Structure 1
Amino acid sequence: MEKAGSEKGKDQASIIATVVDEHTAVQTPERTSSPDRKGDIEKAIIEDQKDGLPAPIEIPDGGWKAWLTVLGAWCILFATFGMTNAYGVYQDYYVRFFLPSYTPSSIGWIGSVQIFFQFSMGFFAGKLFDAGYFYQTVTAFSILYVLAYYMLSLAHQDAFYQVLLSQGILAGIALGFLFLPSIGVIAHHFRRRRSFAMGIVVSGSSCGGIVFPIMLNKLIESKGFAEATRSVAYVCTGMLVLAVALMRTRLPPPSKMKKDPNAPPPPPIPTPRELIRDVPYMITIAGAFFNIMGLFTPIFYMQLYAVAHGVDQNLAFYTITILNGASIIGRILPNLVGDIWGPFNAVLACTGTCIVLIFAMLAATNAGGIIAICVLYGLFSGAYISLIGPLFAGLANHLGEIGIRMGFGFVWLALAGLAGTPICGALLTSDLLWVRPLTFSGACMVVGFTFLFIARHLIAQKKNTWKV
């Protein structure tokens, strides 16, 4: 707009169209030839976008293809993160029955390795997504994911390496290559309501987190570990087939744009060095890093915590289901707040509440208190997880770098996920000293909150608005 304001002798509509195309790397010749749309284009450029991105090409913010894509991405999150949210059932079963020769800290490596790969693979998944290999990536790693759980069903009791290879490594790698494309493709269809649409998608993990814990607890008790794991693998297979059939991309990748001689050159994708020099972005990653270190402790250990505190076993088996049920609301409604007030403000509110709930968990020693923590923690932890995507996407300068920024950020979150659960397991010990891991988790999230608050302040100053 500065360019358009300074060169008064040029055709204003042409200049505006050029500025728009420089941000999107997509040819839009109709904008230069339709003076009736000049005001709309100017408004699109001048108007502050709620997610922090400059005005891109026209995004429909709806339509049947867009909502079918949301449904397909929801199915992926149901099958993948839904199983991750049900890991507490596996953790409890492994500690008490299936892996009796190993400590809670050693068993914690299974879940943490899975989290590490599901985040660290995001960098490579982001590059594949930006390069236009969406369908190939989703199809190939859907197959790998269901294969991992079929292999887990063949694991022998006390065979730690078999469980780690199938559930920790194979399933984790597949998760990493499925999660980011299923979130990133939403940006092809939604702009103003992107946080809301992503919230709906991520709510799939909560729905899976309701279904899978009930299935696993009931089927392990009645039919055994192997049959229970195969049963959830059947469900995952059906959901992933449906997802591949429903999801559709909309924008051409940069590699195809370059082949069009009439299209302007695509905007450059930032290198890792350039990303590291982006101070607000790196402070945001630091905050998210420490939050992930502490966030998953109540989720992974809630069922074991309830059993250890004498809660009736039938009720204890439903604690993870209750937590994930509450997170459905947390993954949708706070995203509406994020669209209105900004993702940073929403994330800070959710982080602060999670800190209070983690420390309050120390006082929850009966069924009523534990259920209350499950409901509230599910609500606000679910909101935090669903807002990570919009938070990183909002720091992108154009649509073409959303994948790389999300992927680079997830690499760092992977390290936090790798370390968090084993550290908490080591602090817990076989004597189940709950005050130690919960204090550690709460302290990590206090540090994360501080970093995010600083990043929010810097970005608010840069944009000259508090709605960030």
Structure 2
Amino acid sequence: MTKASVEENRSPPLSASEKAEDSTTAGSPTKSATSSGEENLVYDGGARAWMSVIGGFCVTTATFGYANAFGVYQDIYTRSGAASPSRISWIGSTQLFFLLAMGLPAGKLMDMGYFRQTTLFGSVLYVFCLFMVSIAHPDQYYQIYLAQGLGMGIGAGLLYVPAVALQSHHWRRRRALAMGIVVTGSSIGGIIFPIMLNQLFEGSTGFAWGVRASGFVVLGLLVIANLLMTENRPKSAGPAPKPDMKAILTDTPYLLSILAVFFLDWGVFFPYFYLQLFSILHGVDPNISFYTLAIMNASSMPGRIIPNGLADRYGPFNAIIPCAAACGILIFALFGVNTVAGVVVFSILYGFFSGAFLSLCAPCVASMSTNPSEVGWVSVRFGIAFALTGIGALTGTPITGALLGETFPWSKALIWSGVSCLFLFPL
């Protein structure tokens, strides 16, 4: 990161009138006059704001949380002989890519006033494709790729970025904390779904009904989310002002930050895809290995909340840089991990710091929207950032899978992933 990018890490300063409003109406809707003289409600707390946080939490549980369980599918597909580890990882990385990259069109639709329609369509597509996975054969690669990689990825992408960006409509002073609570849903999903899927796949239920059972959980979460999430704009408001794309695409700190996260995404997801397989092939008791993803995601919960709270005080960039560095160092530490205790300790530490890194990306992007005129289309910045960094998520784990090959020389994959996570320092 450059010094300039760190200096951009503070939330936009409030005007004198906004400070007066916050001091007199904390925790309740504040009111300001629009240019047309109509009332514009801005929430920094209150029922609608908190319901949107809960709804966003349900979205991230069902989407990113489910994606965090892909290590279970990676293990199942690899051991069933569906394809090579590299080809299988393309399924999960494609899902991650579209989960992030679809934020660009989803953000644009949101700014045009189609938030509700976008999330409803994304919910239907995501649930439909998840049930399609249940009727696919685990050893038929193309069926799984189309349903789980493409279909679920596109559906999740139409949900995830709008659910996170929506919090900027409701929050100012505690925006990073609100976003941190929302993305904590991915930790909850990362705890529930790996345990659930492992128990169902390895038990009498089997693959098909195991996937369907998880699909019903996802369906319930998305129904709740669509009922609770609401935009925070006056009813008479039209589409947001047209964004100044030239200003965004020539914003050097913004572009350098995207580049840094791109390289980090090459390496940071490696344990989420391969830790369960790594543990089993290194002789760790399968009963423990099956819980590594759940442990990692459980420890990411405080990682998604505590650093976000600190980010509101010290700035999101000052919080994200040490967390990203810790991820790279911990991946190199896997060279010495071959015991149950080592795997558990790694899972706890990596879960905390990777969860912090992933949850702080959104506040970092939001903190760069310092121009008050950008408030209406901050989701465009989210969409561009997530779309470009999604390419790193798309290609990172397939590259590590190719490095592993059929003989699993783990040193190559560890070096690649660790160096990728530490590449932010030259930037």
Q: Tell me the TM-score normalised to structure 2 length.
A: 0.89
2:142 counterpart letter in structure 1: Y
Q: Which residue pairs with 1:269 in the alignment?
A: 243
Q: Which residue pairs with 1:448 in the alignment?
A: 424
Shift, 1:276, TM fit: 2.2
- 1:65 matched to 2:38? The reply is no
The equivalences for 1:336-355 within 5 A come to 336-355=309-328
- Judge conservation of contact 2:328–2:420 (CA < 8 Å) in 1: no
- Judge conservation of contact 1:61–1:189 (CA < 8 Å) in 2: yes
- Among 300, 309, 313, the alignment partner of 2:273 is 300
Unmatched 5+ stretches in structure 1: 1-22, 24-37, 46-54, 259-265, 452-468
- 1:239 matched to 2:212? The reply is no
Provide the rounded CA distance (Å) in 1 between the counterparts of 2:82 and 2:110: 42
Distance 1:42 1:245, change over 3 A: closer
Shift, 1:39, TM fit: 5.4
- Among 369, 377, 401, the alignment partner of 1:401 is 377
Q: Which residue pairs with 2:232 in the alignment?
A: 250
Q: Which residue pairs with 2:302 in the alignment?
A: 329
Provide the rounded CA distance (Å) in 1 between the counterparts of 2:255 and 2:210: 42
Q: Which residue pairs with 2:72 in the alignment?
A: 89
Shift, 1:92, TM fit: 0.6
Residue by residue, what CA displacement relative to the aligned partner does 1:7-28 show, whole Å, maximum 9, x if unpaired? xxxxxxxxxxxxxxxx9xxxxx
Provide the rounded CA distance (Å) in 1 between the counterparts of 2:220 and 2:16: 48
Residue by residue, what CA displacement relative to the aligned partner does 1:21-45 show, whole Å, maximum 9, x if unpaired? xx9xxxxxxxxxxxxxx95457789
The equivalences for 1:50-449 within 5 A come to 59-97=42-80, 100-222=81-203, 223-252=205-234, 256-257=237-238, 268-271=242-245, 273-396=246-369, 397=371, 398-449=374-425
Residue by residue, what CA displacement relative to the aligned partner does 1:232-270 show, whole Å, maximum 9, x if unpaired? 0000000000110111111249x9447xxxxxxx65412
1:71 counterpart letter in structure 2: I
Provide the rounded CA distance (Å) in 2 between the counterparts of 1:293 and 1:75: 27
How much identity, in percent, do the aligned residues show? Answer: 44
1:241 counterpart letter in structure 2: V
- The ranges of structure 1 where at least 4 consecutive aligned residues each deviate by more than 6 angstroms after the TM superposition are 42-45, 55-58
Distance 1:420 1:321, change over 3 A: same
- Judge conservation of contact 2:138–2:144 (CA < 8 Å) in 1: no
- Judge conservation of contact 1:287–1:447 (CA < 8 Å) in 2: yes
- Judge conservation of contact 1:311–1:367 (CA < 8 Å) in 2: yes
Q: For 2:45, what is the secondary structure of its paired residue?
A: coil
2:79 counterpart letter in structure 1: R
Provide the rounded CA distance (Å) in 1 between the counterparts of 2:48 and 2:20: 26
Matched pairs, number: 395
Provide the rounded CA distance (Å) in 2 between the counterparts of 1:212 and 1:157: 18
Q: For 1:325, what is the secondary structure of its paired residue?
A: helix
Q: Which residue pairs with 2:28 in the alignment?
A: none
Q: Tell me the TM-score normalised to structure 1 length.
A: 0.81
- Judge conservation of contact 1:290–1:448 (CA < 8 Å) in 2: yes
Shift, 1:393, TM fit: 1.0
Provide the rounded CA distance (Å) in 2 between the counterparts of 1:195 and 1:427: 37
Provide the rounded CA distance (Å) in 1 between the counterparts of 2:159 and 2:254: 24
RMSD: 2.0
Provide the rounded CA distance (Å) in 2 between the counterparts of 1:210 and 1:59: 34
Unmatched 5+ stretches in structure 2: 1-11, 23-31, 35-39
Shift, 1:202, TM fit: 0.4
Q: For 1:153, what is the secondary structure of its paired residue?
A: helix
Distance 1:175 1:42, change over 3 A: closer
State the structure with more CA Rg.
1
- Judge conservation of contact 1:289–1:448 (CA < 8 Å) in 2: no
Provide the rounded CA distance (Å) in 2 between the counterparts of 1:179 and 1:199: 13
